[in-house]
Amino acid sequence: AFLALIDFAGFILMGIYGLASLLVLDVLAIMARHNYSVIKGGELGRLSHKLTASGLLFTKPSEEDLRSIAEAFVSSNNNFMLSISGNPQFRGEVSRTVVSSHRRLIDFEDPKAVPKASQWAVVLERINERGEEPVKAMVALDKPSNIPLLFTARSTTQMHIWAFPSIDELGYDLAVIPIFHGGRVLSESLRARVYLGRDRENNELWIDLDSMPSGFGLVVGMTGMGKTKTMKRILLELMGRGINVLVLDPHGEYLLPGIEPIDITKRFINIFELDGVTDMERVHRLSKAFEDLGIPRDLILTDLKTIYQNGLYKDFFKSMEWLRARSDNELLSLTLDRLMSYLGNAEIVPISELLNNKALLFSPVRSIPDLRGFLMSVVVDHIYSFTMTQSISEFLQRLVVVDEAYDILKTQTIEYIVRGARKFGTAIIFITQLIRDVNEEILKNMPFMIILGGNAAYVEDVASVLNLTDEDVRWLSTALPPHMAGLTAKALVITEPIRRQAIIELEPVIKGLTQRENGY
């Protein structure tokens, strides 16, 4: 709005040539500000103070300390903004500074070099051992900072708003202090905050699903390394705080207190139901899903359209019967018969009925990958379209967990979910064995991952995709199965841009369930 007013004034005072000049400046300003983000408020005219220096770089406070500081900050600042950019050269600068400081201390016995050497050694440790990414930051506030180690100055021109970031910081500072990442403390509710265990420095490790920029998470691990047990840990915490869950369970492993198991041969959804989309959109999605079963779209597209035109889609069994009667293609007929051999006696329920602490058991088709993938993909698609009909919510209302999700992680449905399910109160966590099951572009936009340990080949594959440090690789490579590690699991917990080496602790009730399952 500010730029528009300037442009209008330029046009009135200087005519078309003045407007053209200002438009060029607008483009440059927008390019300079393409990565800025107003965290709270948004009244740029009030942002009269800028960050001039930060001592956070040289500290390693606990997460609780940082959270306390963040809460104090956000209560005293109505408007603030940030701009961040990459800072790849800073890693080399830190190394050179540490070396030169120690050289002064050793060669010249200069006692003044001791504080500098100690400070920069902390920075180097954070980069090398904790895997924190160096960045440059620009912060604008509506009043002077009242936070120790954050130094601000008043600016009369407000040119700092359009300046490129210049303050050196590391990722942990950006992710926790609210001027860099405000969601953690701007949340009015801690319902979605989950305790996982402890990090390598023995600090408590929490994740807050309410503060995530999108409701998309991933748990990756080899068989037997604790994927399911880790997910149970999260589910129990969230259910205890009143958040509804739905688990798509291929093996019948989520038999937890408070979760009702539902066999898909006993209860399932009407795959033809609209659930928030138009009839032709549902035809489009179903025809693509049938393609995954080897059915060319032109074999079924016309008949699907007819089902919606004559209203049959509201009755699952009549729709399937009509499709079967119309088919003169052996492959399509066989596919429909295969589906009905499992769903023929199922009670059809609305998708909303499943989003209330249920585990949908796909164990009857666990040995049939194409049918399992089709049915799971259709359910996830209906969850997404139904969710988009709900009211926008800043806070998590329901969590969907998809185990053995490799069947659907490369489908278009996942792209839909990444774009917006979290805005409507729904988060979805996918569990898989291989990091390469996930589309690379989706992986780049994933705000939350738990990477469990495993053997050398598995860890090497993860490291190549996620660019892990040598220390991260060593941490994951030394992991033991939970039953050999006191029912704990070594993992790398990633809430971008932070990567923390962690030991995930299992809930006592899970320990009890695990002991009963293993007979000890």
Judged against a pLDDT cut of 50, whether residue 520 lies above it is answered with no
Mapped onto helix, strand or coil, the DSSP state of residue 88 is coil
User: Between 79 and 21, whose confidence is greater?
Assistant: 79
- The angle at the Cα of 475, spanning 478 to 58, to the nearest 5 degrees, equals 160
The reported pLDDT for the residue numbered 378 is 94
Taking Cα atoms as reference points, which of 260, 446, 291 lies closest to residue 357? 260
Highest mean pLDDT, choosing among 38-47, 67-76, 202-211: 202-211
Say if residues 396 and 425 touch (Cβ distance below 8 Å): yes
State how far the Cα of 399 lies from the Cα of 215, in Å rounded to an integer.
Answer: 9
Judged against a pLDDT cut of 90, whether residue 443 lies above it is answered with no
- End-to-end CA distance of the chain, in Å? 67
CB atoms within 10 A of CB 311: 11
Phi/psi of residue 485, nearest 5 degrees? -125, 35
State how far the Cα of 520 lies from the Cα of 517, in Å rounded to an integer.
Answer: 8
Q: pLDDT category, 52, cuts 50, 70, 90? A: confident
What average pLDDT does this structure show over 282-301? 92
442 CB-near residues (< 8 Å, 6+ apart): 216, 409, 414, 415, 418
CB atoms within 10 A of CB 271: 23
Say if residues 490 and 196 touch (Cβ distance below 8 Å): no
Which CATH superfamily groups domain 190-251+350-520? Answer: P-loop containing nucleotide triphosphate hydrolases (3.40.50.300)
The reported pLDDT for the residue numbered 352 is 93
Domain layout of the chain by residue ranges: 1-32, 38-186, 190-251+350-520, 274-349
Query: Tokens for 398?
Result: 């329901």
- pTM greater than 0.85 (yes/no): no
36 CB-near residues (< 8 Å, 6+ apart): 81, 82, 83
CB atoms within 10 A of CB 239: 17
Q: pLDDT category, 155, cuts 50, 70, 90? A: confident
Judged against a pLDDT cut of 70, whether residue 91 lies above it is answered with yes
How far is C-alpha 417 from the geometric centre of its chain's CA atoms?
11
Q: pLDDT category, 134, cuts 50, 70, 90? A: confident
User: Between 342 and 416, whose confidence is greater?
Assistant: 342
User: Between 300 and 110, whose confidence is greater?
Assistant: 300
